[in-house]
């Protein structure tokens, strides 16, 4: 018996020795096309004690998968394999780049990651104020597919934007809650003066600014926020939208106050002007010039990227997805789009305003009507829908990241969508025909309300009323399309038209923002303006033709980064705006500023 046991143990030892220690049998790296972000790596191991587990640096790859897909070309990765016996091995690798787009994307990705660590840095967690881990309902820590712990973040950029919105709300005497009636009168032309300086009407300035903010974020971005944060994110989206109105009021008042009007009547305004001139009046000329230049550089980059290439790229992708005959014709689509954009922007702000004042009411009206039809057809769900929103806002599921996670999804979407505090809208509003800077601040109040409180909220309500707030693997515009399509089978086609119009109007408005930043740096003359407009149209074509990944992420961050120099200036100049508001409202009540119509 003892001999048999010894023999059995010996055989087991020999088998274990023959099996050997854990080692790589095969490791394959492939780049199947010239498209970005489609790299693939596969590892095969032998020896050790099965089963094997794989810890990829790519968070989207499961620990049971020996293959990772969707990797960025030119970027370094690593995989650690460990077996049931505790043995481990490590392999680092890089997917080779084979095209210009892949090289550019791979180069920009580390840059984007570095900038994001600053913009999305979480100061509250850094100071140990809360546990940022996502805890599941069963008490376990939530993890990514690769095993990394899932965390919430309260990004610094969001804190900065929300701080500004709350500060300006208090500083301006809660004008965002009582000034809206006067805003509507101004937009309707009740206080128009024929001899007022400027290039466009109050309504045209509002339409231009709204067209730059109402876009794919209202459709795709909201769907992502609701699917990730749950229905409760809607509540916080509305709250931030209401407070953001004060930021728009402040920046657009300053935009008109410090604008420059040339002998030819052309207006040049925006943060570049009030940062430089306004801070100089306070004895901070050096700081003002520095902030103005930083803002202008960021605005130019943002106009080529998030305000241009991203819009063209997404418009083509969505249209080609709905109309399959367009697949493979991105360059043709880009050329047509570039010609359409060029035909409008060559005429300057007056031409842009004439287009946006027609497109914005049409596209917004079309979207709002369709959303209301969906909501009324599901009106029986109204009680459950609002219960989901309120309960989700204050006692959200732990799986969605807890209270902090749900709040941040709503706050982030609102802050990113309406661009209040970014300063871009002040460029459009500075061209308005008015003798009173504060009057344009009142008009600008309506932008976050339209963009966030109305359009974004309607998108969220459609998703919740139809039960499509849980994405089930879908995302963005596709999720919104399915929600609408569940009631109106033909709506996906209408949505495609709306997306095209959103993208087109955003591009022509951002072309003006970028142009004013460009001429601030290089001077305003025919040559500098033509160079910018040609470059802008070229990037429309590029955005439709080439996958740009990290380049677009970089330009999106430039939009957000514009808030840093802008809000610094707004805080320092807020006293002036408060004084202007008090003086203007006194004159309104005294009848010194007359209702002309």
Question: In whole angstroms, what is the distance from residue 590 CA to residue 597 CA?
Answer: 17
**Residue found by looking up tokens 């057809």 in the block:** 377
At 552 the pLDDT is 66
Q: Could you please report the per-residue DSSP string of 260-282? A: EE-TTS-EE-SHHHIIIIIHHHT
- State which H helix or E strand residue 93 sits in: strand 88-94
- The separation between CA 273 and the C-alpha centre of its own chain, rounded to angstroms, equals 25
At 513 the pLDDT is 92
- State which H helix or E strand residue 7 sits in: helix 2-19
**Residue found by looking up tokens 């290039």 in the block:** 199
Residues 321 and 491 sit within 8 Å (Cβ to Cβ): no
Residues 231 and 389 sit within 8 Å (Cβ to Cβ): yes
At 392 the pLDDT is 76
Question: In whole angstroms, what is the distance from residue 185 CA to residue 582 CA?
Answer: 19
Give domain 156-169+178-590's CATH architecture: Up-down Bundle (1.20)
**Residue found by looking up tokens 């030119």 in the block:** 74
pLDDT in tens, 448-462: 888 888 888 888 888
Residues 48 and 21 sit within 8 Å (Cβ to Cβ): yes
At 319 the pLDDT is 81
* Residues 522, 523, 524, 527, CA torsion sign: negative
Question: In whole angstroms, what is the distance from residue 337 CA to residue 117 CA?
Answer: 35
SS3 26: strand
CA distances from 393 to 139, 209, 221, 385, 388 (A): 20, 30, 18, 12, 8
Strands 76-83 and 88-94: antiparallel
Question: In whole angstroms, what is the distance from residue 106 CA to residue 88 CA?
Answer: 29
Question: In whole angstroms, what is the distance from residue 305 CA to residue 312 CA?
Answer: 10
Residues 122 and 154 sit within 8 Å (Cβ to Cβ): yes
Q: Could you please report the per-residue DSSP string of 466-506? A: TT--S-TT--HHHHHHHHHHTT-TTHHHHHHHHHHHHHHHH
Question: In whole angstroms, what is the distance from residue 149 CA to residue 136 CA?
Answer: 12
Closest residue by Cα to residue 302 from 526, 518, 489:
518
* Residues 286, 289, 293, 299, CA torsion sign: positive
At 3 the pLDDT is 42
Q: Which residues of the chain have pLDDT under 50?
A: 1-18, 398-400, 473-474
At 9 the pLDDT is 40
At 363 the pLDDT is 80
At 477 the pLDDT is 65
Question: In whole angstroms, what is the distance from residue 309 CA to residue 476 CA?
Answer: 18
């Amino acid at each position: 018996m003892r001999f048999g046991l010894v023999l059995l143990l010996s055989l087991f030892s020999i088998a274990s020795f023959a099996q050997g220690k854990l080692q790589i049998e095969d490791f394959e790296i492939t780049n199947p096309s010239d498209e970005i972000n489609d790299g693939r790596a596969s590892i095969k191991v032998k020896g050790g004690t099965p089963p094997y587990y794989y810890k990829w640096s790519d968070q989207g790859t499961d620990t049971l998968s020996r293959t990772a897909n969707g990797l960025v070309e030119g970027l370094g990765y690593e995989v650690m394999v460990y077996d049931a016996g505790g043995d481990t091995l490590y392999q680092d690798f890089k997917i080779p780049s084979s095209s210009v787009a892949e090289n550019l994307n791979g180069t920009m990705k580390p840059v984007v990651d570095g900038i994001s660590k600053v913009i999305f840095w979480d100061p509250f967690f850094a100071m140990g104020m809360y546990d940022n881990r996502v805890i599941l309902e069963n008490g376990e820590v939530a993890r990514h597919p690769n095993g990394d712990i899932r965390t919430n973040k309260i990004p610094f950029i969001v804190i900065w934007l929300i701080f500004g919105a709350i500060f300006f709300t208090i500083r301006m005497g809660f004008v965002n809650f009582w000034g809206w009636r006067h805003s509507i009168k101004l937009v309707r032309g009740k206080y128009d003066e024929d001899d007022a300086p400027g290039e466009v009407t109050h309504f045209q300035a509002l339409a231009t600014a709204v067209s730059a903010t109402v876009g794919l974020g209202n459709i795709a971005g909201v769907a992502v926020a609701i699917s990730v944060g749950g229905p409760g994110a809607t509540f916080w989206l509305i709250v931030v939208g209401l407070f953001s109105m004060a930021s728009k009021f402040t920046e657009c008042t300053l935009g008109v106050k410090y604008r420059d009007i040339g002998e030819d009547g052309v207006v040049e305004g925006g943060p570049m002007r009030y940062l430089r001139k306004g801070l100089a009046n306070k004895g901070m000329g050096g700081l003002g010039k520095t902030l103005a230049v930083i803002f202008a550089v960021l605005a130019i980059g943002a106009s080529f990227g998030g305000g241009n290439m991203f819009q063209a790229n997404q418009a083509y992708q969505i249209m080609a997805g709905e109309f399959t005959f367009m697949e493979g014709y991105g360059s043709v689509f880009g050329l047509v789009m570039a010609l359409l954009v060029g035909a409008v922007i060559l005429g300057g702000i007056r031409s842009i305003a004439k287009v946006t004042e027609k497109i914005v009411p049409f596209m917004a009206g079309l979207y709002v009507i369709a959303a209301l039809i969906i909501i009324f057809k599901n009106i029986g769900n109204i009680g459950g829908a609002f219960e989901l929103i309120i309960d989700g806002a204050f006692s959200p599921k732990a799986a969605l990241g807890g209270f902090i996670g749900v709040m941040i999804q709503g706050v982030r979407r609102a802050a990113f969508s309406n661009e209040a505090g970014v300063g871009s809208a002040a460029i459009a509003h500075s061209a308005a025909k008015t003798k009173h800077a504060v009057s344009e601040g009142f008009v600008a109040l309506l932008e976050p309300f339209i963009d966030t409180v109305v359009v974004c909220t309607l998108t969220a309500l459609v998703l919740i009323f139809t039960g499509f707030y849980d994405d089930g693997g879908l995302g963005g515009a596709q999720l919104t399309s399915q929600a609408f399509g569940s009631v109106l089978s033909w709506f996906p086609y209408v949505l495609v038209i709306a997306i095209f119009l959103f993208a087109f109007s955003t591009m022509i408005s951002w072309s003006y923002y970028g142009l004013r930043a460009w001429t601030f740096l290089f001077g305003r003359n025919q040559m500098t303006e033509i160079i910018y407009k040609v470059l802008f149209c070229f990037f429309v074509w590029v955005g439709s033709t080439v996958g740009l990944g990290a380049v677009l992420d970089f330009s999106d961050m430039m939009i957000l980064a514009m808030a840093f120099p802008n809000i610094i200036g707004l805080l320092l100049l807020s006293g002036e705006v408060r004084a202007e508001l008090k003086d203007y409202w006194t004159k309104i009540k005294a009848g010194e500023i007359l209702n002309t119509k």
